[in-house]
Structure 1
């Protein structure tokens, strides 16, 4: 029997995958080749939106129907649209501006660069979300050494430290996860409510103390694993590309600041956590505020940026929840991230109303009370996102966050 291959249709994922890549290429090439105020830029922005809409339609209806990977693909596609808006129309990043900035910084005339170099720079800039080593670099970029902001390690030292971070992060992930069939895991999972009202306003009846203990242990493990997974992924890639000489160490600074800096919610999310999408959400948030006629320096503009940033984060992590199998209606990602915005607003209001009392406290007391506030708020809000995820992972029979922390047995909990 002759197998006919001619005329066979492409696999269903091929078209949205190509369109997803085109979102990046259209943006990167336009940034590399078009002047800052070229009419090609708004045309490219429209094309990027059309491509993203097509990706969403194909991903949901055809290519990834019923497949979990569709959620994060669509979510990240729209994040890259916002990133494109910033590069093309808001920051108006261009190769000419990059060259001028480098010449000013080094006080040397930059040599002529080939077309290939411009294209590589443009595509790289598309994925350089923090705009590292460019005129548009974000503020609050974590330094290599808090005591010396100008310090940059040698290539060998950078690779060695990155390897150590990867090892420690992977060990942490292994220690704070547990198999679904481990003794006491099913009983622990059964204690976790998934209804939003019940999670945020738990009752105080019989067994409440034990439920709160189990909930808190799950939450701590979840936080450790999230931090470790981000660190392992970033450090692994950074170690590889720096070791191979594709990038310099200065181009791959730490992914996040120290958790010791997180004595307020604002500092937690603006310093201690990763800032990958900071430029994207801040620039687009400012654009929304300016469209509404709100000055960018006003408090209202700040709140718009805040709400927009956490809404985007919620949508991205909603896509991640879908990838883990959590049904759309059960995901608590949007609740969690929007609650962070509310928490920061409450925090700002408290600091303003009680500013005289706060100013009289010693720095040590302010930090101690701040740490307690941040921990308490996260222990309260994280379960609304975490619990549906834990239930889904347990139903799937895969490793999940341990309610026993890094201890193997759960008898001490239950």
Structure 2
């Protein structure tokens, strides 16, 4: 086969094409199942060729994640939720909507807040949305907690010119921060050595320099993660809106407000991007039903959260492999499995607080609750993150593995 056909990005393009067409098959069709199986096969081909065909580890990481995320989402959309053109979306959720007043009300609210003027009956736009809309923006089954353009006015949607100006400014700042980060020399290897990853077991021997580095490294790493995730939607949003293919309402922010950073649950469920929320929710619900977890119980709720983070750990272990971090060295799985344990702990502490104090949960969280919650969130992530971040840093080639090939700073490639 010509080398261009087996190039990872070409194969990912093939995956997106197959993905966009599966929605036109009937849920019971064997063709649908065969197409999903084909996506998995193409994914395997990408994973077996990406190490040889792509040298830049940043792009290698992105390719490995996309190749896995596409068939994973296909399983959730087409085999679990039964998304199809006849139903206009997820058939399972359409059935729930017709049998539940609660869902019907939520449907109306979302239509009022996110209605987009596009031809819902168009096969072309249906196919495009299947391949590009992970948050199902502007549909009755839009995922929850999508960030708003304005916290003060939830109904606000910027004009086309304002949206393009703000998006261009965001792209500039993202590039600037990424460039500044890429031109910094890598830290002393001893600071990110394997033995420096745990903290509690060796807290007494940890130096002030090590603690300061741990705080700075965790903070900057999450900033870099945000930029890496945000940059591509910003580019696509600018092109789509500038060309008139879509409206600003179709491109709400990827991340929530910093004011939401006062608990692990808020961090992952409200602030952090939700591009895989629908996928993980569908698959975790399926797993919970298969395991016969008792519905509407703590075991069910926390079980589904644990399953979602487990899947995220698998996905990020694969992305680490794209960065040439061996799965045995990668701490992605440990990091993501620690998160639900932290959520369970904070849920227990909050429940005990409200029960012992006799107070009721308020819609508007008091400022002191947010301050205490932010400190807890920061301390938890500073403790938990290095097990995942430090191995990545040890494998970065300075001045080589950059998101932007033109943002090369001074320094060697060691």
TM-score (norm 2): 0.79
* 1:388-407 to 2 correspondences below 5 Å: 388-393=391-396, 396-398=397-399
Contact 2:330 2:391 in 1 (8 A): yes
Q: 1:323: Cα distance to partner?
A: 2.7
Q: CA RMSD in A?
A: 3.3
Between the aligned partners of 1:161 and 1:327, the Cα distance in structure 2 is 40
Q: 1:49 to 1:71 in 2, by over 3 A?
A: farther
Between the aligned partners of 1:364 and 1:111, the Cα distance in structure 2 is 44
129-138 vs 15-24, greater mean Cα deviation:
15-24
Between the aligned partners of 2:371 and 2:174, the Cα distance in structure 1 is 27
Q: 1:87: Cα distance to partner?
A: 2.1
Q: 1:390 to 1:66 in 2, by over 3 A?
A: same
Contact 2:230 2:254 in 1 (8 A): yes
Q: 1:309 to 1:145 in 2, by over 3 A?
A: same
Per-residue deviation, residues 138-167 of structure 1 (Å, max 9, x unmatched)? 011111111221111111111111112122
* 1:168 alignment partner, SS class: helix
Contact 1:16 1:55 in 2 (8 A): no
Look up the match of 2:22.
30
Per-residue deviation, residues 209-246 of structure 1 (Å, max 9, x unmatched)? 22111222222221222223333332222112111111
Look up the match of 1:170.
175
Look up the match of 2:256.
257
Q: 1:30: Cα distance to partner?
A: 2.8
Between the aligned partners of 2:229 and 2:43, the Cα distance in structure 1 is 26
Structure 1 spans left out of the alignment, 5+ residues: 1-8, 402-414
Between the aligned partners of 1:196 and 1:291, the Cα distance in structure 2 is 40
274-283 vs 130-139, greater mean Cα deviation:
130-139
Contact 2:8 2:53 in 1 (8 A): no
Between the aligned partners of 1:193 and 1:83, the Cα distance in structure 2 is 36
Per-residue deviation, residues 167-221 of structure 1 (Å, max 9, x unmatched)? 22222223444433xxxx553x32223248635633422x622211122222222
Between the aligned partners of 1:112 and 1:59, the Cα distance in structure 2 is 33
Higher Cα Rg: structure 1 or 2?
1
Contact 1:72 1:316 in 2 (8 A): no
Contact 2:19 2:70 in 1 (8 A): no
Between the aligned partners of 1:54 and 1:159, the Cα distance in structure 2 is 36
Whether 1:55 aligns to 2:39 is: no
Look up the match of 2:101.
none
Contact 1:12 1:63 in 2 (8 A): no
Between the aligned partners of 2:46 and 2:401, the Cα distance in structure 1 is 27
Look up the match of 2:33.
45
Contact 1:351 1:358 in 2 (8 A): no
Per-residue deviation, residues 357-386 of structure 1 (Å, max 9, x unmatched)? 566598122111101000101111111111
Between the aligned partners of 2:12 and 2:170, the Cα distance in structure 1 is 31
Look up the match of 2:382.
379
Between the aligned partners of 1:227 and 1:202, the Cα distance in structure 2 is 30
* 1:330 alignment partner, SS class: coil
**What count of residue pairs does the alignment treat as equivalent?**
374
Between the aligned partners of 1:15 and 1:66, the Cα distance in structure 2 is 7
Between the aligned partners of 1:15 and 1:176, the Cα distance in structure 2 is 29
TM-score (norm 1): 0.79
Q: 1:251 to 1:347 in 2, by over 3 A?
A: same
